[in-house]
Amino acid sequence: MQGSAREAAFARLRAFADKLVGRDEALGALVRATCASRLVTLHGDAGVGKTTLVRAAAQRLAEAGAFPAGVFWVSLRGVTRSQPAHLAIAQHVPTGIENALFILDGLDISLVPTLLERFPQVHLLVTARAALGLPQEQALELPPLSFSDARRLLVGWTRTELDPDESASLARLLDGNPQTVRLTAALLETEPLSALRVRLETQLTALTLHGGSTTPLILTRDLLLDRLPEGVGRLLGVLSLFATGAQAEDLEVSWGKGWQRSMEVLLRSGLAIEDEGRYQVAVDLPQPPQAALGPTGVLLALALSHLRNQQTDPAFDLAERGLAVARASQNREGFACALLVLGRITLVEDPARAALLLEEAATHFGNLHDSQNQGTARHWQGAAFSHIDQPEAALGALYEAQKTCRVSALAGLFEEIQTKLTGHGGGSLLAALELDAAGVREHGLLAARLRLGLPAK
């Protein structure tokens, strides 16, 4: 790093290190291990403070000049494929660089061996839930905070004065988990300490008696999520789809103006963090299906939302942007999904183009061995063909769609449909296209036959 850039990095790292409580011994051990080993894994439970500790270690190592080529922070939360991880590191690794340290926060542990092989000249410090079990690894476990340190942290995070005895009783319920403490401090902004302590104690006791597995972290998280205003909660859900964090322009595109006010609530409550211009969810959340698609998934989810409201123009713009983002990031799954969504959006106004888009989507899903989405693309392609008066092509697409369905009686059903169409004796092709495999399983074959204008048997 050069002059001002190094100073700016130190300032950012100091801001995080200032939040360190009760971790002096763990910090010293982590710094020594990182200097001695090429791969160090700091592991521990969710919310125990791994990210905060490695930031403090990064500051100390950088100031000491322990790694002359630099100390680099790379957030890879949610990244599960090797190529994005390689690219994130490679942009910092000039040819011939040696003795550099890369801190990889939240990396999928299965990628570590390939990164060690791909970059033999760098050292890695990784945060993980468990040790990796690699031969060259030095693993350090980060334990929970002591009770006294948890209480100190609670008092420090809370804006109001706390009764010493009550705060001590509350701190004992929090498992020494810093993230739980942070969420509890946020809850104290709207609920008296004594009432919150009774609520947590009662629910944890009831769960224990009934064999429940909910932790104080999950309980405080859910309590806080329940109290979020609707807009704030929706922004948190959108933010969770960005695997490596969202920049302001990402949120501007996917959310629109006004996201900053909701983000302030998330940052203040400890549900989100901001680092070097990127915003990330700070707690584990149930992941929606679009999560694996990253920013493309956000754009497509919003596009479908507009489509449900019959707002085709903004839906089309968002889907096209999702396609461009997927292409630029070489996200094959996202690219195929964007083609599928674009096909659905253009189905009514331009069915010929929709058929082409859906054909391409089906081909991509086939290459990805994703038979379910491939069937969905064929299903909608059949509808597109029916709109442009190509019944044979429509029926062919429908047959392809139903190959993923494992309902044996469907084969005979669609043969009858084909016969009816060939003889121009009636029967609704569009109704057949709308009748997917799940509908047949739910309503039964007899109901399906009657819906299609075929005689009951």
Q: Which of 51-60, 97-106, 139-148 has the lowest mean pLDDT?
A: 97-106
Poorest-pLDDT segment among 90-99, 348-357, 416-425 = 416-425
Distances (CA, A) of 432 to 416, 420, 428: 11, 12, 6
Both tokens of 52, joined, read 């905060």
Percent of the chain with pLDDT over 90: 18
CA atoms of 398 and 379, how far apart (whole Å): 6
Q: What is the pLDDT of residue 426?
A: 42
The distance in angstroms from the start CA to the end CA of the chain is 78
Q: Does the pTM exceed 0.85?
A: no
For range 59-79, the mean pLDDT: 79
Give the pLDDT of residue 130. Answer: 87
Give 318-346 pLDDT, tens digit per residue.
Answer: 889 889 888 887 888 889 989 999 998 99
Give the residue from 436, 342, 423, 330 showing the smallest Cα distance to 382: 436
The two three-digit tokens of residue 62, written as one number:
């950088």
Q: Report whether 23 contacts 56 (CB < 8 A).
A: yes
Cα separation, 54 vs 351, in Å, equals 54
Helices 230-239 and 259-269 sit at what angle, rounded to 10 degrees? Answer: 80
Quick one: average pLDDT of 54-61?
90
Structure tokens at 227: 């109290």
Banded pLDDT at 2 (limits 50, 70, 90): very low
| Secondary structure of the chain in HEC code, one letter for each residue | CCHHHHHHHHHHHHHHHCCCCCCHHHHHHHHHHHHHCCEEEEECCCCCCHHHHHHHHHHHHHHHCCCCCCEEEEECCCCCCHHHHHHHHHCCCCCCCCCEEEEEECCCHHHHHHHHHHCCCEEEEEEECCCCCCCCEEEEECCCCCHHHHHHHHHHHCCCCCCHHHHHHHHCCCCCCHHHHHHHHHHCCCCCHHHHHHHHHHHHHHHHHCCCCCCHHHHHHHHHHHCCCHHHHHHHHHHCCCCCCEEHHHHHHHHCCCHHHHHHHHHHHCCEEEECCEEEECCCCCCCHHHHHCHHHHHHHHHHHHHHCCCHHHHHHHHHHHHHHHHHCCCHHHHHHHHHHHHHHHCCCCHHHHHHHHHHHHHHHHHCCCHHHHHHHHHHHHHHHHHCCCHHHHHHHHHHHHCCCCCCHHHHHHHHHHHHHHCCCCCCHHHHHHCCHHHHHHHCHHHHHHHCCCCCC
- Cβ neighbours, 10 Å, residue 269: 22
pLDDT reported for residue 361: 93
Q: Give the residues across from 146 on adjacent strands.
A: none
Using one digit for the tens of pLDDT, what is the confidence trace for 354-392? 999 999 999 998 898 888 788 888 888 888 887 887 877
- Which pLDDT tens digit goes with each residue over 258-292? 889 989 999 988 889 887 788 888 887 755 444 45
